[in-house]
Structure formats: C-alpha cells, structure tokens
Amino acid sequence: MADTFTLTNNNTGETVDLQLHEGTTGPSAIEISTLYKEKGLLAYDPGFVSTASCQSAITYIDGEAGILRYRGYPIEQLAANSNFLEVAHLLINGELPTTSELIKFEEIISHHTMIKESMRNFFHGFHYNAHPMSIMIGVVGSLSSFYHDSLDIHDPRHREISAHRLIAKMPTIAAACYKHSVSEPIMYPQNNLDYCGNFLHMMFSTPCEPYIPNKTAIDAMNLLFILHADHEQNASTSTVRLAGSSGANPFACIASGIASLWGPAHGGANEAVLTMLEEIGDVSNIDKYIAKAKDKNDPFRLMGFGHRVYRNFDPRATIIRKMCHQVLSNLADNNNPMFELAMKLEEVALNDEYFIERKLYPNVDYYSGIIYRALNIPTNMFTVMFAIARTVGWVAHWSEMIADPMQRIGRPRQLYVGATERDYVSIDKRK
C-alpha cells in the first residue's frame, strides 16, 4: 500500500488519510485532490509556498543546498560546457543531443528566425517610447494569427513546430522592439550566425554598417541564456501552464508568461537592479539604502536580493558573478563603477543581521544587468533578454503539460472572506 499521511481535526478527532507521492529526488507531496470531495475542506497556501502544482521531469531545485539541475545535469556543468541551443534541446527533448541531432536542431531553429513581413509593420504602430516588454507581449501574442497551420495542440508535431517557431523568433522580435525604440530599420536575421551572434547582429547592425559580434559577448550571452532557460514552477512558467491548461494556443500562453515575467519581483528585477544602482550612485550612499530596505514602512527592497526557493545561495548568481569579472576585464571595462558599487553593496548586505536572519542572498539578476550593460544592451531590454532565454523553459513546460494524459484545466479555489448573503438595496435607499 502507498504511504499515507493522516490529517486530524483537533476539535472533532476526525481523521483523513492522504496519499504520499514520492518524486525521484526532493520532498514528497501529499495528494489533497480528494479533500474537498471527501471532507468539504480546501487547502490554503497563498503564494503556493508548499504546493506542488504538477509533476514535472524538467528541472530540479534544492533551495537549501543551492542546487539547480536541468534534466538531471547540474547547472554548473552545463554553464561550463554547453551552449544555449544544446541546453534548449535538452530541456525540450529530455536528452543532450548527439552531434547530428544538434546540427539538425540548429538548422531548424535558424530557418524559423524570420517573422512575416506584415508583422514587421506592427512595430511601427507602437509609441516611440513604449517599453519593449509591452511590445513583446503584443507581438508574441499575435503570432497565433499567422500560424493556423500548427495550432492543433493535441498533435505532437504541431506542438514541436510551435516550440521551434517561438525559440527561433523571440530574438528577432526582441531586436525589432529595440530597433523601433531607437528609430532604426529592423534588421533581418542572418542564418549563417549562431543564435546569440545573430541576435547581436539584429540589435546592432544597420543597413549601412554591419556589426561583427565578438566572442566575449557571444559567450557571455550564451551563459546568461543557459542560466535563465528554466527554473521549474516560477510565476511566469506557472502562468504559461495555467493559461495553457484551458487549451489556449502556445503563442497566447507564452505572451501571458512574458507579462508575468515583467514584474519587478520576477524577471523585471534585472532592470530594477540597474535602476537601483544608478539611484544609489555611490558607495557612500549604501548605508542609507540598506536602512531603507530594512524599514518596514518603506516599500524599497534591495533588488536582486532574496529568492522564494533559494535560502542559502543562488547557484546561478555564483556562476554569473565569476562571469562578470571575466566579461568586464575582456571588454576593457574592469573599472566599471557599477560593478564596484554592486560588489560593495553585496558585501554590506551579506554582513547585515537583517539579511542574514532572513537568508537573503544575491540572486541571478543581481549581476546579469551589469553584464548586459557591458554588452551595450539598454536597461529596458534586460527583461526582454530574460524572456528570450525563458521561452525555452516555457515551451518545455507547456509541451510536457499538454502531453500529460492526466492534464486538466487549472482551477484553484479560494477561502472566501467577503460579505455574507445580503439583500439588494435600491439606489435611493443607500447611505
């Protein structure tokens, strides 16, 4: 018999046996799906702190130990040896590709990089100073109006084509968002370049002057994209899953994930970190901002610090911190004052009782913005960069969910705390 967990009502002594599910690694989960039917009870867990919303075989995190693995492979090994498209193949298909599989995958992705010519016109309809994330949400959502040929979500081949299209077109859309904001012509992709090199070309080439991406920039971007590619059931991935659970098309689902990612508590943090560092301005102001972050009456938080799951260190931040040194010295920017300020702020916070007690450590986004800044990516594009990488995780989770025979529409319940029943009062009698 499967292991069970018994819940007891302390008032009535009534008990209920709940089935325990074992994963391959990590904590077990108590199945409560029958709780309402059998006992009329709901589980209450705001923020889903102790709730496993699904089974997944894609990414494993142990927040206490600072472990992150994609399909079983430690993030440190992937960061040291792999590149973004190889990791994309791994996340989507479950295995690292063989040489021929990787060549084929790269070829498929590079041949889906163009967007429809009429879609290029969309960008001109946005206000000149629109935030690129707002443009991206709209344009990615609109992809479904172009690809009716692959919208049968129950057909595995259709799901695969949609995944390829999304991964391939995100850099093209992202670069077009940027080009619109600087009133430059939108560049076509170049399929002889690799994924990151092609993105840099579309960002910085103009029709009158090619941009030749350098190796440091390409390597840095590959690393950042690998680190951002997936992170199990975070807010945006859960949004994609919930949107997809109703049978919505993949482009609409990924657009909803981009919207969720934009928030400063999630992917918007990398932009917020740079804005914060600019506001702090100088090491002499650090104490003032640390005090603000600790003040419960002040909404200010130290951006790039803290994580729902990591309570010891964020393994991505450890990797990225090292990369920061390398990129800044290779790009002859090793006196970057922003980096100096970030290091000092980190040191002060890590030695402060408030941050120690609450186990608040720098997360991946504390340093990613500094690297993007060194690569000349504008601050309002940082979260867009995150979205390009996370698209791989989103489509992997979306496909996994749709292929799951147990999949049902996601429909959380609530603990109702509003008014009890009352009678309608006509407007002339209301006080």
Residues marked active site are found at 307, 365
339/366 Cα distance (integer angstroms)? 10
Q: Shortest distance, CB of residue 153 to ligand CMC, whole angstroms?
A: 27
Which of 110, 181, 234, 383 is close enough to bind ligand CMC by CB under 6 A?
Answer: 234
Q: Shortest distance, CB of residue 306 to ligand CMC, whole angstroms?
A: 2
Site string for ligand CMC, 110-139 (x = CB under 6 A): ------------------------------
Give the range of 61-69, 296-304, 340-348, 414-422 binding ligand CMC by CB under 6 A.
296-304
Decide if 227 contacts 79 (C-beta within 8 A): yes
Which has the closest alpha carbon to 249: 259, 240, 262?
Answer: 240
Q: Shortest distance, CB of residue 195 to ligand CMC, whole angstroms?
A: 22
Residue 45 binds to ligand CMC (criterion: CB under 6 A): no
Residue 305 binds to ligand CMC (criterion: CB under 6 A): yes
Q: Shortest distance, CB of residue 175 to ligand CMC, whole angstroms?
A: 22
Which of 87, 293, 341, 395 is close enough to bind ligand CMC by CB under 6 A?
Answer: 293
Q: Shortest distance, CB of residue 390 to ligand CMC, whole angstroms?
A: 9
Give the range of 164-172, 195-203, 259-267, 395-403 binding ligand CMC by CB under 6 A.
259-267
Decide if 22 contacts 28 (C-beta within 8 A): yes
Q: Shortest distance, CB of residue 91 to ligand CMC, whole angstroms?
A: 16
* Ordered DSSP codes for 3-23: -EEEEE-TTT--EEEEEEE--
Residue 232 binds to ligand CMC (criterion: CB under 6 A): no
* CB closer to ligand CMC, 150 vs 368: 368
Which of 276, 302, 324, 375 is close enough to bind ligand CMC by CB under 6 A?
Answer: 302
91/101 Cα distance (integer angstroms)? 14
Q: Reduce the DSSP state of residue 55 to 3 states and report it.
A: coil
Q: Reduce the DSSP state of residue 268 to 3 states and report it.
A: coil
Q: Shortest distance, CB of residue 269 to ligand CMC, whole angstroms?
A: 3
136/133 Cα distance (integer angstroms)? 5
* Token pair recorded at residue 199: 């993105």
Interacting residues with ligand CMC between 197 and 216 (CB under 6 A): none
Residue 390 binds to ligand CMC (criterion: CB under 6 A): no
DSSP code of residue 29: E
Cα dist from 32 to 18, 19, 20, 316, whole Å: 7, 8, 9, 33
Which of 66, 189, 250, 304 is close enough to bind ligand CMC by CB under 6 A?
Answer: 304
* Token pair recorded at residue 396: 């992997």
Q: Shortest distance, CB of residue 125 to ligand CMC, whole angstroms?
A: 30
Residue with the closest Cβ to ligand CMC? 306
230/233 Cα distance (integer angstroms)? 9
3-state secondary structure 143-176: HHHCCHHHCCCCCHHHHHHHHHHHHHHHHHHHHH
Give the range of 29-37, 98-106, 318-326, 360-368 binding ligand CMC by CB under 6 A.
360-368
Give the range of 10-18, 330-338, 358-366, 400-408 binding ligand CMC by CB under 6 A.
358-366
Which has the closest alpha carbon to 244: 55, 411, 413, 398?
Answer: 398
* 293, containing H or E segment: helix 286-294
Residue 271 binds to ligand CMC (criterion: CB under 6 A): no
Residue 267 binds to ligand CMC (criterion: CB under 6 A): yes
DSSP code of residue 186: P
Q: Is 399 exposed, middle or buried (0-12, 13-18, 19+ CB in 10 A)?
A: buried
Number of shown-chain residues binding ligand CMC (CB under 6 A): 21
Decide if 123 contacts 180 (C-beta within 8 A): yes
Which of 112, 158, 308, 344 is close enough to bind ligand CMC by CB under 6 A?
Answer: 308
Which of 20, 182, 265, 350 is close enough to bind ligand CMC by CB under 6 A?
Answer: 265
316/364 Cα distance (integer angstroms)? 5
Binding residues (CB under 6 A) for ligand CMC: these are 47, 231, 234, 265-267, 269, 293, 301-308, 358, 360, 363-365
